[in-house]
Structure formats: structure tokens, C-alpha cells
Structure 1
Amino acid sequence: MRSRRRFAAVMAGTAAVALTACGAPAESGGADAAAGEPIVIEHALGTTTIPGPPQRVATVNWANHEVPLALGVVPVGMAAADFGDDDGDGLLPWVEERIEELGAEVPVLFSETDGIDFEAVADTDPDVILAAYSGLTQEDYDTLSEIAPVVAYPEAPWATSWRDVIRLNSQALGLAAEGEELVADLDRQIADAVGEHPELEGASTMFLTHVDTADLSTVNFYTANDTRAAFFEDLGLSTPESVAEASASGEFSGSVSAEQVDRFDDVDIIVTYGDQALVDTLEADPLLSQTPAIANDAVVFLDGSGPLGTAANPTPLAIPFVLDEYVALLAEAAARAQ
């Protein structure tokens, strides 16, 4: 079940500064920065100065386009979805729905299967390029900066929390106050959903990466530095000490041999990509089946190529779209873990 009620509610609470795909304003007002007042943003790759609230917004890499869309601004160009796209049109369902709500045309979609298409980005003639959640290299950033001011990640590639993605990208739009309202709305939505499932409170949860059923000799997992695992804390869950220790390295993932799997005896719930066949394989393995989460069938398996699995990495429009379904699956697993 897609959480359209929550999706509509959170969108209703944001500012309406809608732009068409070609950048012409459909409604004015709401900007924090007055026309001509520069917007200065510091990030890991430099300091970006935007002369004033941009009229033509482009985005690259994953999910950055969701911030302007949530705030009623339609980018002139954005990255096409290369996974989780349920109908092959380059748009995730929550993005497609939002564009339809705004009555806008689909922006130019940049193919990034072979990296950023700098020429395509330049062709959209943007005033700003949003990439607060991205894997930009310094070379990527320098090349994009020749096209327009670029907002990169604050600390490390692919490590920006969904809240900071909203804050940085909305600041670049001159809509910092509206971005804070969006964060607050999403926090309320999450609190309401979690409040309906007290069994979630404190359940220790880890996220396994894609499991190779042909080779279970190694257990690969995301650390708390990855946004998928970090989202568990938002949902009332907790980070197991075993995962917290691995997270101290600063890496986004870790691995241990199956012979050492007993270090995860402090894990109540496992989330991973796969299907029931994967769970059956884990339960049949003589080592992995001894872990409490697997022994209790407290495993949430997600279709990694579908919308729900894609939304396990939280983004501004995806959160309200799948929140009810995701929380319900975690609650079911938490109940089995008790």
C-alpha cells in the first residue's frame, strides 16, 4: 500500500513556488533570499556563491530533484532513475506523481549510466546545479562549476542525511525556511507512523547488503554511516553495538566471515534485499541460521529493484510515499523478534 495520504499531507504543508520545466515562474513569493542577494554555501568540495534565487534548476545524481519538486519547483533537468523505476520511464513513482500534481511537463532526464552527462546538463542552461546527495569527485565538481554554481555534499560522498539534503538544496533555491518546514512535516509524519507501532521501540536492526546465495561464507552489511541504516534511528529502532563498532571506521559497509556471525547475536531485526527464497536459504545455512534474527524469522526482505527497496534509502518524496508500508513490515519483524 502506498501512503498517498501522508504524501499529500506533507506536500500540502510546503511552499508553493512552482516553476515550469522551462523555468518560468508560475507563482512568485516565498523565497528567503531577495532577488540579487547572493546565497553562499560551504561544502566538502568548496564554497558556492549563487547570485540570487535561481530560476532554472538542474540536479545530478540521486534524489536531489526531489527537494525542489517537494517545494513546488520543477527542475529544467535531472537524473533519470536507473533502478527502482517500475515502468521504465526514468521516473520513480513518487516523482512522477509529484510532477503530475504540479501540472508540469517531465524535465529533461540525464542518463547517468556512464557518469554525469555534462553536455546534457549544460544544454539545460541552469542557474544552479543541486548535488547535496551525490558522489561527485573534485573533477566532476570543477567541470559542473563551469556550467553553473554547484552545491555538493557537506562532508563525504553519498553520506548526506535526508534532512541535510533538504536543507542544503532548499538553501540553494532561496527557500531555506520552506525547507525547514518540509523537514518538520516529514518528522511529524514519521513520528505518527512509528507511534502506531510501539513494538518498534529500541529493536536493534541491521541492513545486510545484497546477499549472494551462492556464497554465504561472508556476511556483508551497511554500517550506520549509510543512509539506509541511519534511517532506522528515525523509525524508533536502534543500532546494534556490533554494527556501531564497525561504523567507527567511517566506512559505509563492513563484512565478517560467516564463522564470526555470532557477533551479530545482538541484532533483533535484519533488513535486506531479496525474497522468500533468500530467507529460506539463510534459514537453511548451518551458521547464519543460528543468529537470533534469522532464527526468529525477524527478516524484512525488500525487492531491491522495486520502489519499496529503492525507498529504503530515504529521500524527501519517497519517505511519505512508502512510510506506512515500510514501518508495518519492520513492526511485523519486531513482533517476531520478541
Structure 2
Amino acid sequence: MNYLSISPRLAPVADGSPRKRPRSAAAACLLTASALLLTGCGSGSSTGSATSASSGSSGSAADAQPDAGAYPVTIASKFGSATLKKQPTRVVALGWSDQDAALALGVRPVAVVKTEDSFEHGVGPWDQAALGSSRPEVLDTTDGYPVEKIAALHPDLILAVQSGLTSADYAKLSKIAPTVGYTKDRVAYGTPWQEQTRLIGKALGRGKEAEQAVTKVTDELKQDASTYPNLKGKTFIYAYPMPSTGSIVLYDDERTNLLKSVGMTLDPVVSKAKKLNTFAHRISSERTDELTSDALLVWYNTAKDQRQLESDATFSALPAVKNKAYAGMDRTEAQATSAPSVLSIPWVMKRLLPSLNAGLK
């Protein structure tokens, strides 16, 4: 999939539009050209088998008892309310990382949306252990949510919390099954991972487990801040180069909030750059020398883009690059941070923080 159709948070922002609509993971990548700003999403036909996903059930959704008094429950979201009278057993996860939260709570969706071509069975490496032998249907949403395919899966719950859901999408999906989207005070693809986990936990009748999962990751982030003290108070920039437009996108969203949670500070150059949308800014590549933050994280859509930027003399002379407080991320790492979840956060922080901390001495 191409990020200009990809995930909103991953995709770059070419046109400045913020998140993409669920036009696929691509939509997730949404940003049209902007989509690349987020990260890359995969494209192509869907793969996987709904029936092989725990023989048609959402895995342990039906294997464990819900919290006492969990049902019936009504969950309000931006476009309407979903009422569940009992514990769902066939869950379709349409949000960019909604499957992460479900899997963390022991529920294996019968279907997920395609985000990266490289993701085995449609989920990131941080999900594989929880996915086990389940094989969910992988839905290509490049041209919108495949309503007929979703209906054919006979879901009793549709999750679209971290998504680009629209009122039109909701109207169609809610006729198939109770649909839980993002809340009215959030924008597409803009739900914090804590809220995402709690909403999904409520829908799955596992509110207590969801709270425990949030607490666990929060405590781990606090421990990270203690384990890597050089991060405290250091400025950082999270960027994405767009060679085709001669610009560099600078983020200010959930991915940067993640780094703030371990004590880092977003460099002021970000807010001073041209605003593209609700979560990204942009500067010309000619102003690369202004990226003088203590640490620098850059995600690349292709290896070619990475070689091109890293071979640039101005880029090589940046303080963070010279001091080795620079992290060049591939699309998988970008996905893990762009739509952070209770499963992706521990995975990606272990990959990023040790080297950043060492470079910030």
C-alpha cells in the first residue's frame, strides 16, 4: 500500500490532510500524500482465513468469563452508540492498532485491516505471540471498508477506535454489528493508546484487564525513564523525509507523546514549522540544518530514502547524528510508534531507547 493512501499517522503529509479515512490501511495511512506521514501500509488483496481464526470464534473471547456486570453495555462514539447484550465471540478489528488491544486482552479477531505487506497474518511482530495459531482475515481497505466481506464474517462486534471512520462508514457497519468507533472529542486516528485500550476492554467485557494492561505499560514507561536517565529533559524531533516534495515532515502527536512520557521534550522547531494538519508540520529540506535537537528520530518509507538523507552532508553534521543520538526507523518501527498500543510500546521502546540514551551522554 502506498502511504499516500496509507495510514494517516504513518503517511507523510503531502497535501496536509491529517488522517486518512479508512480507505484502507492505506486510509489509515491516510494522509493521502499525507498518508506517508504516518507510516507505510500494505496494499494488495486480503489474505488469511476467517474460519482458521480459532475456528470462527475470536479466540479467547469466548473462553474467558467477562467482568461481573459487564453486560449489557452501551458505548458511545462519535457517530452513534453500540449496545452489546452479551460477550462478543466474533470480533472484526478495523482500527489501525485495535487488534493489539484485543490481543492483549486475550481476544483474537476474526479479521484485521492490512497495514504492512511484511506483517505476518496481518499483525506486527509484537502481536505474534498473542495471535498464536489464529489466522484472521486480512482486509484491504484501500478503496474503503469492504462491507460485504465484513458482513460475510458474521461479526458480533466491530472495533474502529483507532481508525478514520466516517459517519457514512458507521451507518453501513453498524447495520452489520455493534460498532465501537472513536469518541466525539477525538479526531480520526487520534485516540490515545490508554483510551483505546479501555474502550476496547469495555466492549469485550474485560475492563479490569484493560486497566491492568494500561497500568503495566505506564509503569514500564516510568521504569524506562529511570533506566535511561540521559533522556530526561533532552529535546527531540520525530521526522519523515519526503524527497519527492523536497520537504521534511515533523510530527507532534501520539508518537511524540510516547517519547515525552520517558522525560524527553519536543524541540521548539516543530511548532514553528508550517502546520500541515492536526498532527504534523513541515519544513523545506533546505532547512535541514535547523534540526538541531539533542535527539533525532526519522522513519523512512524506503531504504533509498534513508541512504539519500543519511548521505547528505548537512544531515550528517546535525548534533544528534554526530553524537549518535539518532534513530533511523523502518516502516515496522514507524508503525509501532505511530499507532502506539499496549503491545507495540514495550516492543519498540526496547529497540529505540538504549541507543538514544547512549548517544545523549
Does 1:272 pair with 2:298? yes
Return the match for 1:22 from 57, 60, 68: 57
Residue equivalent to 1:64 = 98
Counterpart-to-counterpart distance in 2, 1:116 and 1:153: 16
Does 1:96 pair with 2:137? no
Counterpart-to-counterpart distance in 1, 2:273 and 2:170: 30
Does 1:164 pair with 2:195? yes
Amino acid at match of 2:187: A
Deviations 1:76-116 (A, max 9, x none): 2222443452xx5433222222122xxx5322322224332
Q: Is contact 2:182-2:191 (8 Å) kept?
A: yes
1:42-191 matches, within 5 Å, as: 42-85=76-119, 88-100=120-132, 104-154=133-183, 155-191=186-222
Counterpart-to-counterpart distance in 2, 1:180 and 1:325: 25
Residue equivalent to 2:38 = none
Q: Which moved more, 1:127-136 or 1:19-28?
A: 19-28
Q: Is contact 1:219-1:257 (8 Å) kept?
A: yes
Residue equivalent to 1:309 = 334
Residue equivalent to 1:241 = 268
Bigger RCO (CA 8 Å, 6+ sep): 1
Q: Is contact 2:111-2:139 (8 Å) kept?
A: yes
Q: What is the Cα deviation at residue 288 of structure 1?
A: 4.9
Q: What is the Cα deviation at residue 233 of structure 1?
A: 1.1
Residue equivalent to 1:221 = 250
Counterpart-to-counterpart distance in 2, 1:276 and 1:269: 21
- Partner SS state of residue 142, structure 1: helix
Q: Which moved more, 1:21-30 or 1:237-246?
A: 21-30
Shift of the 284–107 alpha-carbon distance from structure 1 to 2, 3 Å rule, reads closer
Q: What is the Cα deviation at residue 179 of structure 1?
A: 0.8
1:283-294 matches, within 5 Å, as: 285=312, 288=315, 291-294=318-321
Shift of the 42–200 alpha-carbon distance from structure 1 to 2, 3 Å rule, reads same
Unaligned runs of 5+ in 2: 1-53
Q: Is contact 2:95-2:161 (8 Å) kept?
A: no
Counterpart-to-counterpart distance in 2, 1:322 and 1:156: 24
Shift of the 33–205 alpha-carbon distance from structure 1 to 2, 3 Å rule, reads farther
Counterpart-to-counterpart distance in 2, 1:98 and 1:321: 13
Deviations 1:261-315 (A, max 9, x none): 56544x21111124998677546646555653345443210112xx333322222
Q: What is the Cα deviation at residue 245 of structure 1?
A: 5.1
Aligned residues: 303
User: How well do the aligned residues superpose, as a CA RMSD in angstroms?
Assistant: 2.9
Q: Is contact 1:83-1:310 (8 Å) kept?
A: no
Residue equivalent to 1:3 = none
Q: Name the TM-score, length of structure 2 as normaliser.
A: 0.73
Shift of the 26–147 alpha-carbon distance from structure 1 to 2, 3 Å rule, reads closer
Unaligned runs of 5+ in 1: 1-18
Q: What is the Cα deviation at residue 34 of structure 1?
A: 4.1
Q: What is the Cα deviation at residue 231 of structure 1?
A: 1.3
- Partner SS state of residue 265, structure 2: coil
Counterpart-to-counterpart distance in 2, 1:195 and 1:147: 47
Q: Is contact 1:194-1:327 (8 Å) kept?
A: no
Q: What is the Cα deviation at residue 21 of structure 1?
A: 4.3
Q: Name the TM-score, length of structure 1 as normaliser.
A: 0.78
Counterpart-to-counterpart distance in 2, 1:279 and 1:105: 35
Of the two, which has the highest radius of gyration?
Answer: 1
Q: Is contact 2:164-2:188 (8 Å) kept?
A: yes
Return the match for 1:208 from 232, 236, 239: 239
Counterpart-to-counterpart distance in 2, 1:67 and 1:279: 31
